[in-house]
Amino acid sequence: MQLSDATSSPGTGLTLLKLHNVVKNFGGVAAVGGLSTEVRAGSVHGLIGPNGAGKTTVINLITGIFHPDSGNIQFDGNAVQNLLPAQIAAIGISRTYQNVRLFKGMTVLEQVLTGCYLRRGVSLWASFLGLPKARARWAETRAHAMHLLQRVGMADRADELAETLSYGEQRRVEIARALGADPKLLLLDEPTAGMNSVEASVIGRLAHELRDSGLTILMVEHNMGLVTEFCDTCTVMNFGRLLAEGTPAACLKNPDVEEAYFGRKSDAERIKSVS
């Protein structure tokens, strides 16, 4: 199965997600200006870049919230840039949000059950009638949801109202919800924002566990320590364009990346001389 050109990077080496020349403009602003990059199956891939680089826009383009003005997005070999969000979810891409977006009024378990909608295995009609088959499938789905909650360490909070949990806990529930549909690709949009380093590394380890069980993960991340420690490969963006690609260590050494994050060396020296 392995492609011959597979380098030392983890995963099967097959490209799961491929963006080619993707352009998205909002009015006159080019949020994404011709981005091409790819994510290999079975890897944890970081999408990094300074604020306003267009990272979340890329996530929104992949999940069908926006459609690219031009360029194409391939998932598992199929063009997906014109599909609706619900169709994108059905082919195996799910996501979390930069600002946690759980449903108000639902318990932790209900959130995850909602995420399991695609694998419910029963029609809405049968579920309405309460047919024995529907009941059995419901029990099965419920068990699956509990299993996912166990995976993120939230099983003992299953019956609590999700909005009463702490921010970090809500993020974990959101990940469990995203896993509900048995995705192939999981997009995490800043999964550790607002977390301390201990909580953040819990998320990092969870990402590794999920990868090891066959999932591919694309995560937008600001925490460089986390990226170098947990991402296998990464894409660095700035002003909607590709800046660097490769292993995190190589990316961070790239002078363009340093400049995007820390400013120009010559500028720094000039400031030093002024002060």
Based on the shown chain and the rule CB under 8 A, indicate whether residue 88 belongs to the binding site for another protein.
yes
Task: Among 79, 90, 143, 250, indicate the residue that binds another protein (CB under 8 A).
Answer: 90
Q: Which has the closest alpha carbon to 43: 218, 257, 238?
A: 218
Locus of tokens 């983890």: 10
Q: 51 to 70, contacts with another protein by CB under 8 A? A: 63-65
Q: Which has the closest alpha carbon to 47: 60, 30, 28?
A: 60
The least CB distance from residue 181 to another protein, in Å, is 6
Q: Considering beta carbons, is residue 92 or 204 the nearer one to another protein?
A: 92
Locus of tokens 């020349």: 21
Task: Among 29, 84, 143, 250, indicate the residue that binds another protein (CB under 8 A).
Answer: 84
The least CB distance from residue 89 to another protein, in Å, is 4
Tokens read off for 215: 């999932």
Per-residue interface string for the shown chain with another protein, residues 99-128, x marking contact by CB under 8 A = --x-xxxxx--x--xxx-xx-x-x-x--xx
Q: 132 to 171, contacts with another protein by CB under 8 A? A: 134, 138, 160-161, 164
Task: Among 85, 98, 199, 252, indicate the residue that binds another protein (CB under 8 A).
Answer: 85
Q: Which residues of 259-268 are buried (b: 16+ CB within 10 A; e: fewer)?
A: ebeeeeeeee
Task: Give the total of residues touching another protein (CB under 8 A).
Answer: 40
Strand order in the sheet with 70-75: 29-40, 15-26, 70-75, 78-79
Per-residue interface string for the shown chain with another protein, residues 167-206, x marking contact by CB under 8 A = ----------xx-xx-------------------------
- Binding region for another protein (CB under 8 A): 63-65, 84-86, 88-90, 94-95, 97, 101, 103-107, 110, 113-115, 117-118, 120, 122, 124, 127-130, 134, 138, 160-161, 164, 177-178, 180-181
